[in-house]
Amino acid sequence: MNPALLGLVTIVLGVVGCVGYFYLSNLVLDTVIFPARGPHAGRNINWANMVRPWLFLLPAIVALGLYLAYPVVETLRLSLTERVPGGGYTWVGLANYEQMLKEPKFWEAMRNNIMWLIVVPALSTAFGLLTAQLTDRIRWGNLAKSLIFMPMAISFVGAAVIWKLVYDTRPVEQDQIGMLNALYIFFGGTEPQTWLTIPIWNNFFLMAVLIWIQTGFAMVILSAALRGIPEETIEAAIVDGAGPLQIFFKIKVPQIRTTILVVWTTITITVLKVFDIVFAMTNGQWETQVLANYMFDKLFRANDWGLGSAAAMVIMLLVTPILIWNVRNARKEMR
Amino acid sequence: MDNIAGSKSTLTWLVHISVAALVILWLIPTFGLFISSFRTADQIATNGWWQSLFPSEQNLTLRSAAPETQVEQNGLYVIEGQLFEDGAKAKISVWGISSRDIGSYKPGDTAELRKGGNITVQVDGSYRMESSEPFTGSRGSRVFVTATQPPKFTLFNYQDMLFKDGSASGMGKAFLNTFTVTIPATIIPILVAAFAAYALAWMEFPGRAILVAAVVGLLVVPLQLALIPLLKFHLEIGIGKGYLGVWMAHTGFGMPLAIYLLRNYMAGLPRDIIENARVDGATDFQIFVKLILPLSFPALASFAIFQFLWTWNDLLVAKVFLIDATGQTTVMTQHIIELLGTFGGNWEILATAAFVSIAVPLAVFFAMQKYLVRGLLAGSVK
């Protein structure tokens, strides 16, 4: 069948199926299992109302359980086993982790990931804060915001192509068509550089892509937070003779500290999962490996599920503090 | 807040200038690729895209028409024509007929051709060759010109990519495939999540708080962990790699954010409306369909945009759960990766492919930005 047609059928089936499930299950609950009539009407209504939430929740719980909760456990199990040729698994304990820790590529990925984790959230948040503060004060600020926010809509792969053109290199005797090299030559560079193959520095050229994408996100959230600051605090500061910089750093920033933290952690999680950019631009060559790409490499190129799962568990481990922090905050808020 | 501490005007100018600088810095990479997608391969290879925006002076090697087009006029053999392609509107400053001396003549001058006869070239590129003997050979004479050309763009790359079988074919199909992945993967999670969100927001039952906490926790679980276990699971239950698998995967991965966003929004709806409806005898199902769903439209739209952008732009999930060895179900992101591999230096192909894939999300982004922003503000865990 034509895939587009198949998609259409799926939409119809999916929507009808979903609505049908919820409608019919409610109907069955109310009329067949616990009918609201007869001698036990009152008790039945109570029973039905106890069961109903779970009817509403069931598909979502199945989806969450199967696609997110179960894989965490299963990945942990896989990371402790080794596939046996011909099928089946053997328990190998921590051997996969040991092997991973011996690989220089893993340590390269760890080192790069740590650099990403420091640089990208910091610069995205800083740029976001800067643009949020500046655009709030001018009339065409909304237009500016929407243009800076735009990279959010562009795929990592699309962004990789966009930036590869910026970093493009031509032989020295030709005109440079990559902007970075053109600027480099314009400001007195002699040899055009192949930016993505210069170890260590090339990591920063990759990070630039993610910063470019994430700044808009940071800006939107921080701009809303800045607007939420009570006017009186700022007016009081003006009366006391504070300058614009003092107002910004001493009055505004402390008041939106939690929001800054939220933005920071959200970008941190994005950074830990970053895969497409590295995959599309260097594929981890020239010492640009990161954990997510290292893991993909192990899983699907080396076909080593044990080692790949161990790498995935490392990512999970790095996310866990943020996970706990989020859950604790959410519980505090619910109370 | 505008007139902080007196020094208003200089400061305002500084703000205007810095914002303008930031906006330009942020736009320029995309803009460069966008411009490149409207240039021919030759143009892209000769100079930077920024030079294409202004009239540029270039040295070109052009060729007159072949001798077979000559006509005889009053005993003279004449070839007349135009050196540039149609509508190039270039202006010649100097020209020549030898590669060692490309600037020896001015427009309007007449040069002796080596093989006999002479040639006159005008400023707009029209020329006239005259000779008393017939012109021979199979190709025209070379003319070296230094010309100023106005910016020139073409839609050729897009036509070539979308409607022709050729070097970069497959983009059209990948475009359809991406749609096929995206639409069900956006709609189905919304429905499933909306019911769950209603239960978590407005129904009393034991374990509700724990479930909400679990959803918040699952928000940050990296989907990298799910790849192998779920691929294994899909293979075991016989779905294998294909659309069904990728739809299910996207539904699962989008679920925490969907529930989180929708629950937060629904919990903020006024309690009176819902209790009045209950008093009037409406069932939960009726309340949900007739009251909650319409009222939650902004939140539904927010999530729909997120999920749409995410599934459209996704590479990893499609690579693992959808694209099999036949490559029939490739999506645009994967197709671009393949183009990067095979046509790494052909920027006209890459730029065009990237823009074909970026166009739809950008349109959605600019059309529905309000909802996207609202969703972001609600979705970042506070």
For residue range B110-129, list pLDDT tens digits in order: 888 777 788 888 888 788 88
**Per-residue confidence band for A126, with pLDDT thresholds at 50, 70 and 90:** very high
Distance CA B13, CA A105 (A): 50
| Domain at B160-379: CATH code | 1.10.3720.10
Instruction: Identify the residue with better confidence: B326 or A251.
Output: A251
**Stretch among A66-70, A251-255, B103-107 having the lowest mean pLDDT:** B103-107
Report the residue of A27, A64, A220 to disrupt the B interface, i.e. the one with the largest count of B CBs within 10 Å: A64
The per-residue pLDDT of chain A, averaged, comes to 84
Q: Assess whether pLDDT exceeds 90 at residue B326.
A: no
Q: What residue spans of A29-140 are helical by DSSP H?
A: 41-64, 70-79, 95-102, 104-135
3-state SS assignment for residue B268: coil
- Quote ipTM for the complex: 0.85
A156-201: pLDDT as tens digits:
888 988 898 888 888 877 777 888 888 888 887 778 888 888 888 8
Q: Assess whether pLDDT exceeds 90 at residue B331.
A: no
Tokens linked to A133 = 């503060």
B13 touches chain A (CB under 8 A): no
B214 touches chain A (CB under 8 A): yes
Do B203 and A53 count as a contact with CB atoms less than 8 A apart? yes
Looking at residue B168, its pLDDT comes to 55
Taking every pair of Cα atoms in chain A, the longest distance, rounded to a whole number of angstroms, is: 95
A78: chain B residues, CB-CB within 8 Å: 228-229
> In Å, how far is A160's CA from the nearest CA of chain B?
9
Asked if residues B375 and B258 have their Cβ atoms less than 8 Å apart, the reply is: no
Q: Which residue of B has its CA nearest to A127?
A: B22
> In Å, how far is B276's CA from the nearest CA of chain A?
18
**Stretch among A32-41, B214-223, B361-370 having the lowest mean pLDDT:** A32-41
Looking at residue B8, its pLDDT comes to 60
Looking at residue A210, its pLDDT comes to 92
Chain B residues 49-68 with CB within 8 Å of chain A: 49-51
Distance CA A196, CA B159 (A): 32
Domains (range + CATH), chain A: 3-79 (no CATH), 97-334 (1.10.3720.10)
Of A272, A275, A323, which is closest to B316 when you measure between CB atoms?
A275
β-bridge mates for residue B81, sequence order: B127
Chain B residues 264-303 with CB within 8 Å of chain A: 283-285, 288
**Which residues touch B121 (CB under 8 Å, ≥6 apart)?**
B83, B92, B95, B105, B107, B108, B109, B111, B127, B143, B145
Residues belonging to chain A: 335
Q: What are the C-alpha distances in Å from A146 to residues A95, A141, B51, B284?
A: 50, 9, 27, 40
Looking at residue A298, its pLDDT comes to 86
Report the residue of B224, B284, B338, B357 to disrupt the A interface, i.e. the one with the largest count of A CBs within 10 Å: B224
**Stretch among B28-32, B143-147, B315-319 having the lowest mean pLDDT:** B143-147
Of B2, B22, B357, which is closest to A148 when you measure between CB atoms?
B22
Cα Rg, chain B, nearest whole Å: 32
B380: chain A residues, CB-CB within 8 Å: 221, 262-263, 266
Q: What are the C-alpha distances in Å from A148 to residues A83, B36, B175?
A: 47, 21, 26
Looking at residue B1, its pLDDT comes to 46
Looking at residue B115, its pLDDT comes to 74
Residue for token pair 């340590």: A107
Looking at residue B87, its pLDDT comes to 63
Instruction: Identify the residue with better confidence: B375 or B365.
Output: B365
> In Å, how far is A271's CA from the nearest CA of chain B?
11
Residue for token pair 């949900």: B288
Q: Assess whether pLDDT exceeds 70 at residue B86.
A: no
**Stretch among A68-82, A285-299, B80-94, B316-330 having the lowest mean pLDDT:** B80-94
Q: What is the mean pLDDT of residues B11-28?
A: 88
Distance CA B101, CA B144 (A): 9
* Burial class of residue B301, CB neighbours in 10 A (0-12, 13-18, 19+): middle
The per-residue pLDDT of chain B, averaged, comes to 82
Instruction: Identify the residue with better confidence: B274 or B152.
Output: B274
Q: What is the DSSP string of A144-201?
A: HHHHHHGGGGS-HHHHHHHHHHHT----TTSPP-SHHHHHHHHTT--SPP-GGGSTTH
Q: In which region does residue B163 sit, left (phi positive, over 0), alpha (psi from -120 to 50) or beta (all else)?
A: alpha
Q: Assess whether pLDDT exceeds 80 at residue A259.
A: yes
Distance CA B241, CA B227 (A): 12
Looking at residue A215, its pLDDT comes to 92
B274-313: pLDDT as tens digits:
888 888 888 878 888 888 888 888 888 888 888 998 899 8
Q: Which residue of B has its CA nearest to A167?
A: B29
Q: Where are the domains of chain B?
A: 8-51, 55-149, 160-379
